[in-house]
Structure 1
Amino acid sequence: MTVSAYRNQLLRLWTRTFSISALVDSYNRRHDYLRISLTERCNLRCFYCMPEEGVQLSPNEKVLTDEEILRLAKLFVRSGVTKIRLTGGEPTVRKGVVGIVAGLNELRPYGLRSIALTSNGLALHRRLPELVENGLTHLNLSLDTLDPFKFEFMTKRSGLEAVLKTLKVALESPHLQKVKLNVVVVKGLNDNEVLDFVEMTKDRPISVRFIEFMPFTGNKWDKFKMVPSSDLLQVISEKHLGLERMADETNVTARSWKIPGYQGEFGFISSMSDHFCSACNRLRITADGQIKVCLFDAKEVSLRDEIRKGASDSEILRLIGRAVHGKEEKHLQMEDIDVVSNRPMILIGRASMVDVSEKSVTKRSATAKGRIIITERAYDLINKSYSSESQSSMGKNPSSMDEAQKKVLRKGDTLTVAQLAAIMGSKKTSDLIPLCHPLPLTDVKVKLTCEAFEETQGTWKYSVVCQATVACEGKTGVEMEALTAVSVGLLTIWDMLKAVAGKEMVIGEIMVSEKSGGRSGEFHRP
């Protein structure tokens, strides 16, 4: 062993001694694979990745700089990461991509063995030789159809020939260790092309991976559009007898197969029908610097903010360790995955608070209202049982009440408790609603009114109306604070009266009735 090699080996051992535990979760999974999103931007508009209405991209100042990316990459490699994949959006639209690859290449003495890129290939064929020269070792090309008309339908752009040209350049590059094609299969759209993609492995040393259609915000995911990998394998095995199952590498996401005599192979990434959570070894850093420990978990922790606060390497590693340790054992079943708060695929990528720094401070107020429908029994209890006369008579003859009524009374005055809860709820709005700004409220008024009216002849309807007016001097409005106050107040009434009203209660008609202040001015609901 040369002196240089011996020094590098000692360096790897030393750097990992203090930090390797940061990437081991509570289920003893060791994470040695890091995916870094370089940008949220893309030159295609694939429907399964980007919502039809588009997305609001992070401003440039929120995106990690080249230096921040390389600093984080070094921390992860020193902690045990051996493979880094650059993703997007489309990573090749980032101007500094070649420099980032070159910077990653300098981390090999710390243990980095693989530098990979996932690209749509649209504009890559010209830049690929330079990327490979600077250290790129693996390439994944996203290509969902071989039909030019279908390509334009799925991506909202033309360009199939350009992607195929990139594939040709990649296969002619002797220093690329592996070239893969990623094919997202959607029932009724491109599932009839599966055999065509398999045929591409006959004369090319590529790996085609069929990916199940996955749910993200805005991509109109439907389990009936998702083709299980087992169905695809059945189709292929009927066409090609004697398929050979390949030995899977540790932590591999794709189950791979090979047709005897073919140069390449094909496999399935079954995130939906047959997840591989028990062997998951990957972490993600989004373009705006959040660490995401699971693709289908909306929880994120900002590493960017810590870097820009001046955090040391050890402090950032502790934050990474806490995030990794909180990783769940497995993601939910496909029907239960959170597609509301989880990012669209293009933004694995972000959710961000609106920047109000340029707004002026003004007096603002908002009033919201809502209603809870209750039973006659609950209405009578609220209106009658708290009068001094009723309280006195009940004290003398408690047997006149049933257990449910007694349970309600033991909790206290329903309307008073609900009023206090509504006021407290308004003050906690920014803790409950993730992207709300914390505001210094100057006044909160909550009014609760019992109402009874004859809905039809002889049929009465009973309810409690909650009205909250919130005021502040700030840079943004207080509509959310007013709505939160009403919501919490009505929920408290439900909790207080559930012993006597139970499932018959209905909360509804929650709305902003008026507001003032701010750029939009006055608003009064008729």
Structure 2
Amino acid sequence: MRDGWLRNIEYLRISITDRCNLRCFYCMPEEGVQKLCHKEILSFEELYSIVKTAVELGISKVRITGGEPLVRLGVVDFIKRISKLSGLKDIAMTTNGILLEKYAKDLKEAGLHRLNISMDTLKEDRFKQITRGGDLNQVLKGIEIANSVGLGPIKINTVIMKGINEDEIEAFAKLTLDQPYQIRFIELMPMGEAESIEDDRFISNQEIMRKLPELIPVIKENDAGPAKYYRLPKAKGKIGFISPMSQHFCSSCNRIRLTADGKIKPCLHSNHEIDLKTTLRHHPEKIKDILIQSILSKPERHHLNDDRKSSHRRMYQIGG
């Protein structure tokens, strides 16, 4: 289905929980996190109804996010169920990787196609600092197993920040030499906890690229994804740059988002939300109308650089 700006909307990102087993400092507060109670989040049965209807409208790609999606019991069975929907061609997940060693094989067998791993450092001590206690070795082991069972190409999402991890740009890039990984550098966005640190920590992707002078552009494949890809000479993998701040990609945006508490966000960076949960629970026959309304209400572009307020939600409340 096309939105009001004639963009083909084919991609639904679903947050299945606002809970996470890490506390990355730019994403979540260290303590006092207000968690949704059970009745506030959509059940897997409700999520299935939404995905089924969305597929009927032309959605062909679904990404499952959180919080951390693997902390919610039942996610493997949910993937198995939606994988049987005719017309749904791609099911992906974004995870911090902590529980991947346990779930990778089951996820693959259930019908998951691809994984994105959020990982901002390759140093154990620094990983503990950024995540407030996480174990890097768990993530690395999970990536290794996920790759071995066929959940590739593995994409590793990395936020580079001044004074935090800017000394690791080359190390992340070198991960692509021997493995078909896709390392994606994502600019820090002024959302939630990051809003107070963005001015001091922000590094544009243009600055990162200058540190990797050997990059060779990769011809864009047939997708509407936000990343621009490059490759190091003789590398098996690719290096992508996602630049929502310095070079927005709104003209090719092909997605809408569903929060864990049942709100549709036509744009990640807007406070505009449409309550799908109430309709679903009281007038389920109108789900399709709400989804159509959501797609047609997508704005032409975000306004992060216009001194307007970004989304009032933190990233873990929306879905990474």
The residue type paired with residue 251 of structure 1 is: A
- 2:189 aligns with one of 199, 202, 214: 214
Residues 69-110 of structure 1: CA deviation (Å, up to 9, x unaligned):
011001111111111000000000000110111011111x2x
Shift of 1:24: 2.1
Contact 1:215 1:337 in 2 (8 A): no
2:82 aligned partner: 104
Contact 1:137 1:178 in 2 (8 A): no
After the TM superposition, which residues 200-279 of structure 1 pair with which residues of structure 2 at under 5 Å, given as runs?
Answer: 200-219=175-194, 220-237=196-213, 240=214, 243-279=216-252
Distance 1:192 1:335, change over 3 A: farther
Larger Rg: 1
Would you say 1:141 and 2:109 are equivalent positions?
A: no
Residues 330-386 of structure 1: CA deviation (Å, up to 9, x unaligned):
0013362424x520001116xxxxxxxxxxxxxxxxxxxxxxxxxxxxxxxxxxxxx
After the TM superposition, which residues 26-425 of structure 1 pair with which residues of structure 2 at under 5 Å, given as runs?
Answer: 26-107=4-85, 109=86, 111-174=87-150, 176-219=151-194, 220-237=196-213, 240=214, 243-312=216-285, 315-334=286-305, 336-339=307-310, 342-348=312-318
Shift of 1:177: 4.0
Distance 2:118 2:152 in 1: 18
Distance 2:260 2:281 in 1: 15
Shift of 1:256: 0.3
Superposition RMSD on alpha carbons, in Å? 1.5
Distance 1:136 1:215, change over 3 A: same
The residue type paired with residue 186 of structure 1 is: M
Contact 2:48 2:82 in 1 (8 A): yes
Contact 1:248 1:255 in 2 (8 A): no
The residue type paired with residue 322 of structure 1 is: Q
Distance 2:99 2:308 in 1: 34
Shift of 1:55: 2.7
Distance 1:168 1:86 in 2: 21
Distance 1:338 1:198 in 2: 33
Shift of 1:48: 1.6
Shift of 1:113: 0.8
The residue type paired with residue 323 of structure 1 is: S
Query: Counterpart of 2:183 in 1: which secondary structure?
Result: strand
1:456 aligned partner: none
Residues 415-454 of structure 1: CA deviation (Å, up to 9, x unaligned):
xxxxxxxxxxxxxxxxxxxxxxxxxxxxxxxxxxxxxxxx
Shift of 1:311: 2.7
Shift of 1:53: 4.5
Contact 2:180 2:237 in 1 (8 A): yes
Distance 2:275 2:105 in 1: 34
Shift of 1:52: 4.2
The residue type paired with residue 247 of structure 1 is: K
Distance 2:222 2:25 in 1: 31
Moved more, 302-311 or 136-145: 302-311
Distance 2:147 2:198 in 1: 35
The residue type paired with residue 146 of structure 1 is: L
TM-score (norm 1): 0.59
Count of residues paired in the alignment: 318
Moved more, 255-264 or 50-59: 50-59
Shift of 1:248: 4.0
Distance 2:270 2:197 in 1: 16
Contact 1:246 1:258 in 2 (8 A): no
Contact 1:223 1:335 in 2 (8 A): no
Shift of 1:225: 1.6
Distance 2:284 2:64 in 1: 24
Query: Counterpart of 2:115 in 1: which secondary structure?
Result: strand
The residue type paired with residue 188 of structure 2 is: F
TM-score (norm 2): 0.95
Residues 304-333 of structure 1: CA deviation (Å, up to 9, x unaligned):
111111330xx2211222222121110013
Distance 1:247 1:161 in 2: 33
Please state which structure has a larger fraction of its residues in strand: 1
Query: Counterpart of 1:198 in 2: which secondary structure?
Result: helix
Residues 230-270 of structure 1: CA deviation (Å, up to 9, x unaligned):
11111111xx3x62333243312100001121110111010
Query: Counterpart of 1:57 in 2: which secondary structure?
Result: coil
Distance 1:86 1:253, change over 3 A: same
